[in-house]
Amino acid sequence: MAEGYHGLLVPSFATGATSEDLNLVLWTWGNAAPVRVTLIDDESRLSR
């Protein structure tokens, strides 16, 4: 965080992933709009 990075550990929804499989998502916030994190769920796995 001291270097401006933020992150989350989130469950993996990859085919064959188990409950122990995680993804590390890192980002830095910018000073100019738009400042946001965008979810990409091309296979609609998160809407089940």
Q: What is the DSSP string of 1-48?
A: -TTSEEEEEEE--STT--TT-EEEEEEE--SSS--------TT--TT-
pLDDT at 31: 81
pLDDT at 22: 96
Res. 34: pLDDT tops 80: no
Higher pLDDT, 34 or 19: 19
24 phi and psi angles, rounded to 5 deg: -100, 120
Res. 39: pLDDT tops 90: no
Q: How confident is the model at residue 23 (pLDDT cuts 50, 70, 90)?
A: very high
Give the global pTM: 0.58
